[in-house]
A and B are shown apart, each in its own frame.
Chain A
Amino acid sequence: MSLRKDLAIIAELVNANARVLDLGCGRGELLAHLQKFKQVNGYGLDVDPEHIRICIEKGVNVIEQDLDAGLGNFADDSFDIVVMTETLQSVKAPDKLLREMLRIGEECVITFPNFGHWRCRMQLLFFGRMPVAKHVPNTWFDTPNIHLCTFKDFERLAADLNFPIIERRVVNLNNVESPLGAVLPNLMGPVAFYRLGRSDRATT
């Protein structure tokens, strides 16, 4: 089973038998992989009917739930890791959701398209138009992405919320970690990958 690069990195991070919550789990690739290879007790949330059907067909524990309606039904500390890939930019209140993720889980992993990528900057600077690129493929009037941000923006939010960054990675769309992005993430990295912990927890 070949996993999308960001999902493969997450799969490596997850311990066997861990409790995993995947927000916006899509077709359930990550959870199906974790269930099969790491005996993980995982749940995924999604609202897309076809995603939900595919998850069910795979035997993934998918729950039809809108992230914008909150996560109040999940108890504090009920998960080891809360994952949200390529979804942060489309929720109504990313800051509130981040807080919720770290209330429910000890750690969270978040990936999102970097709006500070040079391709985006170029389009705005030279053409004066809202950027459309491989990692942000939607036109401004027809996009689920209502809260696009950059590496720097996200790091400022994490600092404001007092959530320490455990790890940052830069992923590109060809399923490899980007060497240029590692040097200049905000300019060269198309996809941001962050692990956040709680402030009450020692980070190394």
Chain B
Amino acid sequence: MPSTIPPNSVGVITPERFIYEDRFDLQSAEFLPGFELVYETYGELNTERSNAVLICHALSGNHHAAGYHHLEEEKPGWWDHCIGPGKCIDTNLFFVVSLNNLGGCHGSTGPLSTNPNTGTPYGPDFPTVVVKDWIKSQSLLADSLGINKFAAVIGGSLGGMQALQWAIDFPERVGSAIVIAAAAKLSAQNIAFNEIARQAITSDVAFAGGHYNRQQAVPDKGLGLARMIGHVTYLSDDGMREKFGRELKSGDLEKGAGVEFQVESYLRHQGEVFSRRFDANTYLLMTKALDYFDPARDHDDDLVATLATAQAKFLILSFTSDWRFSAERSKEIVNALIAARKNVASAVITSEHGHDSFLLPLPRYVKLLSSFLGKIYVDHCGGTEP
């Protein structure tokens, strides 16, 4: 809880709702009879409507990217150190939009929402949504806000994939795309980790085929376990050694019994906290969206051809110790963009924090975002050179 709101914070933010009342066709050939997206905005849209920036969240993220919902809130939004007045995504310059994706569990239409056909929550019957569906729904939100073109679409991990998909699906609506710690498609190893996480959830007895809400139960053990697996893959070996080493939380190595390492207790805590704030069906849906992401699939697996129509200026960032979405995966995107003769800059940031790096205020990372966006502001938003 902040005793006072820091001057470089966007302050107290009230989420808003976008309601779409028409039929919304999905890639899966299913449809939703309409949907709602919960979103937040920071900063002011200029009169030319040219300074909008879209933030796309990752697997377990949501719309609350910056500021506080109320003064008693423990922590600010998940990317607060990057979004705010004078920060690298500068709300003095940009109008920032951040939403909870379709299928989410923090206010947008998803498995927790009521299915109008049955009058009960969708639960496991919520249709499959993929990244392309998200982009389409986000474009409708942009329409409703009067944003024809984003100066930048920004995201890390699954969010970076959305930024890439935006540049492919709506080339004329994206001034720049910042794709961080992402990939053009998942590797088999990556899908395997997602599958283990899904198995952890679905094999929890409380999961009940996804209808746990009917029984007023929560598959918290399975969801917690899924998060623990995910969490390990988001850190690096060095990072974990640095953070936990072999420190003991309790017990005595000499006597053997009841030993608990710091890392164990940390992971259990992470799992427990996560299972309280996240919905199991949403977790399954989001990991599936990750697995299915493969924009080149529609172009004979040719990523260069897929990117041929893109008009955005790209910034591709990756981190040295990230093995879940390694720098090599980002390099594939960069190479395809060069082959397609697109404007692209890329950097590989030294970090020992693994995939989680994209959420951390690493000095070089933050400076690069700031430098790139400063130029975007000049080129796209009529700003002057600083």
Contacts and interface: CB of A to CB of B under 8 A. Distances in A.
Q: Note whether A and B form a binding pair.
A: yes
Interface of A: 19, 41, 43, 49, 52-64, 73-75, 78
Given A63-B338, A74-B338, A55 B331 contact: no
A64 B375 contact: no
Contact of A73 (B331, B367, B374): B331
Contacts of B375: 56-59
A78 B346 contact: no
Interface residues of B, number: 22
If over half of A's interface residues share one DSSP class (helix, strand or loop), that class is named, otherwise mixed; here it is mixed
Pick from B313, B334, B335, B345 the residue with the most CB of A within 10 Å. Answer: B345
A63 B345 contact: yes
B69 to A, nearest CB: 34
Contact of B348 (A53, A59, A60, A64): A64
Interface string B339-350: 101011111100
Given A59-B379, A61-B345, A53 B367 contact: yes
8 contacts: A41-B341, A56-B347, A56-B371, A57-B372, A57-B375, A61-B343, A73-B335, A75-B339
Contacts of A63: 334, 338, 344-346
Given A57-B374, A57-B375, A64 B346 contact: yes
B200 interface: no
Contacts of A78: 338-339
Contacts of B364: 49, 53
Given A61-B345, A64-B347, A43 B338 contact: yes
Top-10 shortest CB links A-B: A57-B371, A64-B347, A59-B375, A73-B335, A56-B371, A56-B345, A62-B345, A64-B348, A56-B372, A63-B346
A23 to B, nearest CB: 14
Given A56-B372, A59-B313, 19 more contacts: A41-B341, A53-B368, A53-B371, A54-B371, A56-B315, A57-B375, A59-B375, A61-B343, A61-B344, A61-B345, A62-B346, A62-B347, A63-B334, A63-B338, A63-B344, A63-B346, A64-B348, A78-B338, A78-B339
Nearest to B341: A41
Contacts of A55: 345
